[in-house]
Amino acid sequence: HEFLGELALDGRLRPVPGVIPAASSAHKSKRHLVVPAASGALAARVPHSRVIPAPDILTLCAHLNGCRPIAPAQGAIAVTDYSYPDLREVVGQQSARRALEIAASGGHNLLLYGPPGTGKTLLASRLPGIMPPPDAEEALTGLALRNMHTQIDIDDYFRRPFRSPHHTASAAALAGGGSKPHPGEISLAHGGVLFLDELPEFNRHSLEILREPMESGQITLSRARHKITYPARFQLVAAMNPCPCGYLGDSERACRCAPEQIQRYRARISGPLLDRIDLHVPVYRVPAADLLAPSGEAEASATVQLRVCRSRQRQEQRQGCANVLLPPDMLASACLLGESQRKSLESAANRLCLSARALHRTLRVARTIADLEEADTIANRHISEALAYRDIDMNQ
């Protein structure tokens, strides 16, 4: 047997974090895991695990002595129908809503920029509600990571995480750490969304930590006595103002920043990090008349999610993964281009000075746009839209 729990002074067993990874480890070592009764259903969610839920120390002793055996815990049926913030509540912002749908469909990273109060945070919080539901393995991995950090509810089993660390968060808080390494925000967002509001306000070193997991989907923590790799396959959504005062290019208020201030502000975000963000999307001010009396009802998240799921299903059937994970050696076969499309993309890549990484990411975005239209081949309009998310001028 293996035991995990806290013994209270009155003999009761209290739950502690970590029952999911403990149950997985016990199964691999072919042992029974004894946990507090309150943790039994959660631990039993691990496939093929044998979990003994004991309410107190006397009951456990009776079980171990063979006097009163405790029935193994049964895995609870997890809730799959979650209530997320709804896209219907977002007024206007049609171009940003479109980018959000593309991001959810292909798993692409997203940067929202615009003046304060235009709805960047509101839009970001709606992304989990239109993403495809996670499969059982992805859900269990994410649950295990979050369970190492804190106690969790079985009802959150299939919920996409939405992590939003403050811009004062340290590198250790983002990546994880400690004398005994524990997962940070990057890993806790596995299978969900990592939202970084006020992106340039984050410490430069903290932001550079994102580069490895954005490519590999995992992060390695090295300490004097420990070296551990945690999964970190998250979808990055970042938000920022176009300048320090926030009003550069705004239709209502004038910018107060000097050119040097704007340059220093934007230089806080490195080129390699921006290169890894597929969709750069402006979020403009919505007129007061539209906010007070919106015309028509916006699409609900459930409607958008249906299109996203159909698109993701096409991707899985074609290449076995989302478009964002499409390896370079499969791009030619998955992203079929005619001569006209190839020349158009080549010309734009030279004009925009796209790196090899940026070119491949643009091609993946074009493939996602085509999948949303249920098109087998990539057309010029798909490439043009994908390039529009790269050819960005924050001064407009």
Q: Which pLDDT does position 45 carry in this prediction?
A: 82
Co-location of 154 and 282 in the same domain: yes
> What is the distance between the alpha carbons of residues 274 and 269, in angstroms, rounded to a whole number?
7
**Residue 216 counted as domain residue:** yes
Q: Which pLDDT does position 82 carry in this prediction?
A: 73
Span 137-170, pLDDT tens digits: 888 888 889 888 777 777 777 889 999 999 999 9
Q: Which pLDDT does position 29 carry in this prediction?
A: 87
**Residue 313 counted as domain residue:** no
Co-location of 276 and 354 in the same domain: no
Q: What radius of gyration, in Å, describes the C-alpha atoms of the chain?
A: 24
Identify whether the C-beta of residue 154 lies closer than 8 Å to the C-beta of residue 45.
yes
List the beta bridge partners of residue 53.
35
Co-location of 232 and 97 in the same domain: yes
Co-location of 133 and 253 in the same domain: yes
Q: Which pLDDT does position 116 carry in this prediction?
A: 94
In which residue are the tokens 């001010």 written?
285
What's the domain range around 11?
A: 2-64
Q: Which pLDDT does position 101 carry in this prediction?
A: 98
**Residue 109 counted as domain residue:** yes
> What is the distance between the alpha carbons of residues 230 and 90, in angstroms, rounded to a whole number?
35
Span 45-98, pLDDT tens digits: 888 889 999 999 999 999 999 889 999 888 765 556 678 899 999 988 999 999
Tally of structural domains, the chain: 3
Co-location of 40 and 7 in the same domain: yes
Co-location of 224 and 139 in the same domain: yes
**Residue 72 counted as domain residue:** no
**Residue 301 counted as domain residue:** no
Q: Where are the beta strands (DSSP E) in the chain?
A: 2-3, 6-7, 13-14, 33-36, 51-54, 110-113, 162-163, 176-177, 182-183, 193-196, 218-222, 227-231, 235-240, 279-282
Residues of the chain with pLDDT under 50: none
pTM: 0.89
Q: What angle do CA 86, 87, 90 make, to 5 degrees?
A: 115
Instruction: Output the CA–CA distances (angstroms, integers) from residue 136 to 73, 103, 107, 145, in the order listed.
Output: 19, 22, 18, 14
Q: Which pLDDT does position 248 carry in this prediction?
A: 92
Co-location of 94 and 45 in the same domain: no
Q: Which pLDDT does position 311 carry in this prediction?
A: 97
Q: Which amino acid is at 153?
A: D
Q: Which pLDDT does position 79 carry in this prediction?
A: 58
Co-location of 239 and 284 in the same domain: yes
Q: Which amino acid is at 201?
A: E
Q: Which pLDDT does position 78 carry in this prediction?
A: 59
Co-location of 235 and 272 in the same domain: yes
Co-location of 94 and 239 in the same domain: yes
